[in-house]
Structure formats: structure tokens, C-alpha cells
Amino acid sequence: MSVNTKEYRIDSRKSVELDSWPTRYEGRLGKEEGLETLAELILRLQRLQALLYADGSKSLLVVLQAMDAAGKDSTIRNVFGPINPQGCKVVSFKGPNSTELLHDFLWRVHQNVPRRGHIGVFNRSHYEDVLIARVKQLVPKDLIKKRYEHINNFESLLHDEGTRVVKFFLHISKDYQKEQLQERLDTPEKLWKFSPQDIPERIHWDEYQKAFELAFEKCSTSEAPWYIVPAERKWFRNLLVTKVLVETLESMNLRYPEVKFDPKEVRIP
């Protein structure tokens, strides 16, 4: 029973209706078998990361977006926790600070892309600038339209220069979000993560979903695809994300660098 990652990938420039995409995996793969598969995939991911690091000529950028409380932090902990922290950098994009606002929206993002050999993880990203910026009307609609194209150009630059880009939307329902927020309120060690501001944001749920749909339609490319991850079962969410990363790294033609000496000839004094 294997998971076909392509089923969750958005084809280039296809229109997307999130309502028709599952938020909860209900396929035939069971949890027990799924966790075994995940453990194997994590091992493969660890080996591939070591190879990416040794190869040193390419990098991988992973973009994570979702509604509040969908599990971005937990995904990062579970998928990227097991890999070598020396070759993995997580960057969390909050609202831009005053210096960042003095620049174009890709300025701070570009500074944080992974160097060759590394995996970079964006917890939120430049997509906020076509999501919250659209819903809250932070910039004119005309500019949002242009931003989709600027994002595509930017991601295409990264791709051509050796950085592969994969983007995940952790898809949940409005009811599931409610449960998760309630859990934060009920759990002393999670309470600090609860922000009363999350509540008025729920009023804009449909507008955010619409903004996501547009972003996926405009910015899912063959070079930098979006995946819509049913995120309400954590084991499946982790499995799908890990599998996409493994497949992506395997397609990158990574290899150990050639050395300019014959190891058999070297004598260590």
C-alpha cells in the first residue's frame, strides 16, 4: 500500500477548489503500516541529506504554509527533527519589521534561502504577501496580481541556480482548527501558543481559503510545485511531506564530490 505523492500535487496553473481536497486522509493505508513506512522514509531522508551536504552544489527549500494551528511547528519537529541540524536551517517569517518594510517583499526572503548543501525550511514565507496581504488589503489588488509573477520569477531563479523548491499547504477544516485552538487553551504547556488574535482571524476563514486557492493556481509550477497535504491525521501528514522530500532529493542527481588525490597513496605521518 503505497502513497502516490502526485495525487496531492497541484498541476501548473490549474484552478483549485480547496473544498474538494481532503483535510483528513481516509485512504486504505492504515496507521500502523503508515508509521513503519514513515520510519523508513526518515532513514532515507537522513541519508539523502548527508549526500546533499557532501555534494555541496545544490540545495533544497521547503515552504510550509497553513491556517493557524494546522501543525506547521509539529511537522517541522517530526520531519526535520531527525536530520542533521548542521545542514538544516529553519526560518520563521513573522510580520515584517520596520527595516524589512523599507524593502520589497522578497528582500528578507532572498537573504534566508538555503546555501548550497543545505535544506532550508520556511515556516510561513513570501506567500504571506499574497495571503494576509490580500485578505487584509495591505497593498492594492493590482500589486498582488504582479506579486504572483514576481514569486514565480524568484522561484525560477532559485531553481536554475541549484535550489529545488517544494511547497506544502497543510490543509485542515475550520472545525479542526477550533479543536486545536481549544486544546491550546486546555493544556498548560500549550497555552503560551494561544493568541487571542487568532479568533478574529477565523472570521476571515473563507477569504483566506480563497487567497490560498489563487496563490496555488498562480504559483504552482513544475519547477516549484505546491502540495496540498491532508493534515488532520499527523502520521499521514508527516509521511506525505517526507515522501515528497525523499523523491525530490532522489531526483536531484546528488553525488559525493570527486577528490583530486588517490586515497591509497596518502600516508598519514
Segment near a second copy (CB under 8 A); pick from 7-15, 34-42, 211-219, 252-260:
252-260
List 40, 199, 206, 234, residue binding a second copy (CB under 8 A): 199
Q: Which is nearer to a second copy, 16 or 109 (CB)?
A: 109
List 81, 95, 140, 162, residue binding a second copy (CB under 8 A): 81
Q: How far apart are CA 167 and CA 221, in angstroms?
A: 10
Asked if 85 interacts with a second copy (CB under 8 A), we say yes
Q: If DSSP states are collapsed to H, E and C, what string results for 82-97?
A: CCCHHHEEEEECCCCC
Asked if 160 interacts with a second copy (CB under 8 A), we say no
At residue 203, what is the residue type? Answer: I
Asked if 35 interacts with a second copy (CB under 8 A), we say no
Asked if 138 interacts with a second copy (CB under 8 A), we say no
Asked if 202 interacts with a second copy (CB under 8 A), we say yes
List 26, 32, 160, 189, residue binding a second copy (CB under 8 A): 189
User: Site for a second copy (CB under 8 A): how many residues?
Assistant: 42
Asked if 196 interacts with a second copy (CB under 8 A), we say yes
* Cβ-contact 174, 205 below 8 angstroms: yes
∠ CA(166), CA(42), CA(170), 5° rounding?
40
Give all strands of the β-sheet with 88-92 in edge-to-edge order: 88-92, 119-123, 59-66, 163-171, 226-230
Closest-CA residue to 135 (of 23, 70, 35, 213): 213
Segment near a second copy (CB under 8 A); pick from 36-44, 131-139, 195-203, 233-241:
195-203
Q: Which is nearer to a second copy, 98 or 197 (CB)?
A: 197
Q: How far apart are CA 26 and CA 35, in angstroms?
A: 15
Asked if 201 interacts with a second copy (CB under 8 A), we say no
Gap between the terminal Cα atoms of the chain: 54
Question: Least Å distance between CB 176 and a second copy?
Answer: 12
Asked if 83 interacts with a second copy (CB under 8 A), we say yes
Please list, in sequence order, all residues whose beta carbon lies within 8 angstroms of the beta carbon of residue 256, skipping any fewer than 6 positions away.
51, 54, 55
Handedness of CA 241, 245, 248, 251 (dihedral sign): negative
Q: Which residues bind a second copy (CB under 8 A)?
A: 50, 54, 73, 76-77, 80-86, 88-90, 92, 121, 123, 178, 181-182, 185-186, 188-189, 191-194, 196, 199, 202-203, 256-257, 259, 261, 263-264, 266, 268-269
